[in-house]
């Protein structure tokens, strides 16, 4: 019996060593942790239960029959994060560069299917060289199997990807199908084709970092939702994110105790809006002063900064926050902001997370770059996302709500449930100056007439009362009571039941 147990332990040890000490040392020398070390940080201590530790590839070509490493380049299984079940896979770069064989793919698919069946998030940690070149089409088949599960699980369970090393080919498309992607600065990059292929095809010389580093994807392309300093920070932040999410679309988001008074008054908010309507202020101050304990997990912080998205809690229950940011491009809606917020709103709606929208928006961004870049289509995404969302929607207009952007930002007309405005709100088709220059074009040569018309327009529309008189705004509230009012609104919406007409699926403008 002892011999059998020893043989098992021996096999387990071999699997735990992955590609061997030399490659583990190389991994550490690059500032990266190993697949198992990452899981230790991600999961509650002692909670990891590994599956398929002894799975090996079945390839016999190119001398592969003699090169078998138990586990075959991916560590899979289940564990808990703050006591809640999650399924995980973690690519082991020390084994064939984490590349994907058919056997490796089957391990991932097993975890994906278990997660979907049992209603728990899947977290994938990526550090991999793409398709296992020696396996050819079997590897491509394996990727497609994973993609298929990604798509079937979309909107059913939260799927999170963390890019922690090189990722190319198939290892970027699976993350792209998941709900959130994060990267680690300096040690990770992701692209469909690497610098060598780029050079051959387009004759461009580019480094991996320039092509697909964390900075590029977190700030420019918007492919990823955040970049972390190192593996340690990445794992700690993913734990934090998971705490906000329901385990599946069959469950309510997790409520946790809070010590923050629901009735808390924030007098400082009464002076948040500057006297000059063109002067910016930091919308994050409002968010942090409204939500429980000022705890806000931002999604896509460095991309489309003119809109803020992220998770917080009210009375301990998760909420999604969407807010125009006057500090960046005056909070205008452009392509990036629309894309970013549309995806976030849809995530919240999939998983029953109420949405609080803080509005200060001067409109959609004008210009050829925006129009030629399909602002119409991208702006429509956000409009569509808000309109179809059936989760509780609470809106607070702090200052500008102009034009189409007023409609888009969770207005009453798109089934906003409770729509508040601060007394400083200006709800109009456009700002006074622009409006007067159009409707009183004949007076343009007469500055006094224009000034009088502008003042008249300002007086008539630069307030929330016209909209309130029509019932488009439910109540004009004092800024200092924002938390109290939003809490109250969310309480009344706990039993909300609304559904959209039957359809196979919608046709959101992609
Ligand atoms: C098999 C691979 C491999 C792969 C790396 N290795 N990539 N083995 N298939 N795709 C092995 C190497 O032979 C090496 O083995 C070890 O992993 C580490 O690789 P290095 O090159 O030494 O590491 P590094 O210098 O850090 O470079 C990492 C890398 C590079 C950038 C990922 O290895 C690379 O470019 N690999 C190929 C990437 C690629 O083109 N993949 C196919 C994409 S197409 P030893 O034994 O020396 O440790 C694709 C199709 C799917 O994925 C598309 C679906 C939509």
Top-confidence residue, 443 or 468: 468
Mean pLDDT within 265-283: 95
* b (16+ CB within 10 A) / e for 135-161: beebbbebbebbeebbeebebbbbbbb
Helix (H, G, I), strand (E, B) or coil at 70: coil
Cβ-count burial of 470 within 10 angstroms (0-12 exposed, 13-18 middle, 19+ buried)?
Answer: exposed
- Calpha distance 334→379 (Å, rounded): 7
At 293-328, the pLDDT tens digits run 999 999 999 999 999 999 999 999 999 999 999 999
pLDDT at 437: 84
Two structure tokens written together for 325: 């940011």
Two structure tokens written together for 221: 């392309």
- Calpha distance 112→453 (Å, rounded): 63
Count helices and strands in the chain by DSSP H and E runs = 19, 16
227 membership: H or E segment, kind and range = strand 227-228
Architecture category of domain 2-242 in CATH: Alpha-Beta Complex (3.90)
Two structure tokens written together for 208: 């991996």
Q: Read off the pLDDT band of 119 (50, 70, 90).
A: very high
pLDDT at 505: 94
Question: 167 C-alpha to center of ligand 1: Å?
Answer: 9
C-alpha 419: how far from chain center: 25
Reference 82, options 44, 135, 136; nearest CA is 44
Number of Cβ atoms within 10 Å of the Cβ of 268: 11
Residue to mutate, 22, 97, 151, 166, ligand 1, most ligand atoms under 8 Å from C-beta: 97
Domains of the chain, by residue range, sit at 2-242, 267-425+464-492, 431-462
Please name every residue paired with 428 in a beta bridge, in sequence order, or none if there are none. Answer: 402
At 203-257, the pLDDT tens digits run 999 999 999 999 999 999 999 999 999 999 999 999 999 999 999 999 999 999 9
Q: Read off the pLDDT band of 468 (50, 70, 90).
A: very high
pLDDT at 473: 97
Q: Read off the pLDDT band of 427 (50, 70, 90).
A: very high
45: region left, alpha or beta (phi > 0 left; psi from -120 to 50 alpha): beta
Confirm or reject: Cβ of 142 under 6 Å from ligand 1. no
Mean of all residue pLDDT scores within the chain? 95
- Calpha distance 277→287 (Å, rounded): 20
Q: Which residues contact 196 (CB under 8 A, 6 or more apart)?
A: none
- Does the pLDDT of residue 361 top 90, yes or no? yes
Separation of first and last alpha carbons in the chain: 61
Question: 72 C-alpha to center of ligand 1: Å?
Answer: 14
Q: Read off the pLDDT band of 97 (50, 70, 90).
A: very high
- Does the pLDDT of residue 59 top 80, yes or no? no
At 430-454, the pLDDT tens digits run 888 888 888 888 888 888 888 888 8
Q: Read off the pLDDT band of 129 (50, 70, 90).
A: confident
Confirm or reject: Cβ of 175 under 6 Å from ligand 1. no
pLDDT at 430: 84
Q: Read off the pLDDT band of 105 (50, 70, 90).
A: very high
Pairing of strands 317-324, 307-314: antiparallel
Reference 345, options 473, 179, 485, 194; nearest CA is 179
- Calpha distance 413→383 (Å, rounded): 11
Mean pLDDT within 155-172: 95
- Does the pLDDT of residue 202 top 80, yes or no? yes
Across 134-143, 188-197, 334-343, the highest mean pLDDT is recorded for: 334-343
Residue nearest (by alpha carbon) to ligand 1 atom 54: 170
Confirm or reject: Cβ of 308 under 6 Å from ligand 1. no
pLDDT at 435: 85
Using a pLDDT cut of 70, give the percent of the chain over it.
100
Q: Read off the pLDDT band of 45 (50, 70, 90).
A: very high
pLDDT at 459: 85
pLDDT at 436: 87
pLDDT at 396: 98
pLDDT at 277: 86
**In CATH, what number does 267-425+464-492 get?**
3.90.226.10
Question: 476 C-alpha to center of ligand 1: Å?
Answer: 60
Q: Read off the pLDDT band of 273 (50, 70, 90).
A: very high
Residue nearest (by alpha carbon) to ligand 1 atom 1: 132
Asked, colleague to colleague, whether 2-242 and 267-425+464-492 share their fold, the answer is yes
Q: What are the E-state strand segments in 10-142?
A: 49-51, 74-81, 84-91, 122-128
Q: Read off the pLDDT band of 70 (50, 70, 90).
A: confident
Q: Active-site residue numbers?
A: 169-170, 404-405
- Calpha distance 443→40 (Å, rounded): 71
- Calpha distance 355→245 (Å, rounded): 13
Question: 13 C-alpha to center of ligand 1: Å?
Answer: 25
At 377-409, the pLDDT tens digits run 999 999 999 999 999 999 999 999 999 999 999
Reference 468, options 429, 432, 425, 435; nearest CA is 425
Helix (H, G, I), strand (E, B) or coil at 68: coil
Top-confidence residue, 458 or 487: 487
Cα distances (angstroms) measured from residue 399 to each of 145, 402, 423, 445: 49, 10, 8, 30
406: region left, alpha or beta (phi > 0 left; psi from -120 to 50 alpha): alpha
Helix (H, G, I), strand (E, B) or coil at 207: coil
The DSSP result for 380-446, as a single string, is HHHHHHHHH--S-EEEEEEEEEEHHHHHHTT-GGGT-SEEEE-TT-EEESS-HHHHHHHHTGGGTT-
Reference 167, options 182, 153, 179, 152; nearest CA is 182
- Calpha distance 158→24 (Å, rounded): 31
pTM beyond 0.85, yes or no: yes
Two structure tokens written together for 71: 């586990």
Confirm or reject: Cβ of 197 under 6 Å from ligand 1. no
* Three-state SS letters, 332-386: CECHHHHHHHHHHHHHHHHCCCCEEEEEEECCECCCHHHHHCCHHHHHHHHHHHH
């Amino acid at each position: 019996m002892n011999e059998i147990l020893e043989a098992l332990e021996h096999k387990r040890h071999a699997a735990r060593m992955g590609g061997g000490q030399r490659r583990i040392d190389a991994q550490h020398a690059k500032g990266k942790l190993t697949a198992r070390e990452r899981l230790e940080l991600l999961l509650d201590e002692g909670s990891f239960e590994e599956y398929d530790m002894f799975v090996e590839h079945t390839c016999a070509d190119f001398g592969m029959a003699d090169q078998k490493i138990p586990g075959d380049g991916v560590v899979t299984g289940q564990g808990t994060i703050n006591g809640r079940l999650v399924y995980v896979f973690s690519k082991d770069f020390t084994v064939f560069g984490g590349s994907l064989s058919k056997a490796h793919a089957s391990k991932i698919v097993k975890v994906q299917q278990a997660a979907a069946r049992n209603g728990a998030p899947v977290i994938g940690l990526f550090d991999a060289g793409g398709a296992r070149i020696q396996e050819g089409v079997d590897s491509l088949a394996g990727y497609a199997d994973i993609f298929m599960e990604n798509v079937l699980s979309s909107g059913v369970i939260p799927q999170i990807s963390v890019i922690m090393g090189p990722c190319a080919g198939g290892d970027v498309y699976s993350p792209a199908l998941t709900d959130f992607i994060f990267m680690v600065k300096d040690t990770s990059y992701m692209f469909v084709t690497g610098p060598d292929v780029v050079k051959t095809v387009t004759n461009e010389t580019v480094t991996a970092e320039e092509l697909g580093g964390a900075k590029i994807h977190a700030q420019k392309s918007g492919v990823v939702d955040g970049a972390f300093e190192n593996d340690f920070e990445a794992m700690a932040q993913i734990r934090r994110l998971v705490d906000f999410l329901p385990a599946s679309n069959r469950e309510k988001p997790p409520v946790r105790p809070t010590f923050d008074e629901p009735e808390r008054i924030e007098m400082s908010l009464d002076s948040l809006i500057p006297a000059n309507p063109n002067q910016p202020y930091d919308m994050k101050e409002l968010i942090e002063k409204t939500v429980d304990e000022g705890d806000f997990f931002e999604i896509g912080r460095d991309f489309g900064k003119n809109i803020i998205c992220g998770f917080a809690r009210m009375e301990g229950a998760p909420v999604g926050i969407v807010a125009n940011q006057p500090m960046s491009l005056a909070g205008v809606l452009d392509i990036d902001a629309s894309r970013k917020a549309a995806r976030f709103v849809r995530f919240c709606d999939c998983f029953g997370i109420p949405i609080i929208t803080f509005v200060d928006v001067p409109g959609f961004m004008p210009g050829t770059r925006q129009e030629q870049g399909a602002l119409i289509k991208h702006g429509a995404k956000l409009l569509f996302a808000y309109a179809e969302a059936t989760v509780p929607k609470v809106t607070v207009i702090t200052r500008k709500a102009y034009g189409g952007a007023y409609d888009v930002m969770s207005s009453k007309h798109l089934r906003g449930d409770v729509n508040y405005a601060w007394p400083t709100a200006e709800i109009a088709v456009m700002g006074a100056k622009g409006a007067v220059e159009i409707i009183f074009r004949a007076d343009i040569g007469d500055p006094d007439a224009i000034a009088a018309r502008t003042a008249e327009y300002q007086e008539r529309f630069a307030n929330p009362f016209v909209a309130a008189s029509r019932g488009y705004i439910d109540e004009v509230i004092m800024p200092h009571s924002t938390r109290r009012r939003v809490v109250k609104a969310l309480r009344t919406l706990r039993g909300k039941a609304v559904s959209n007409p039957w359809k196979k699926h919608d046709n959101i403008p992609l």
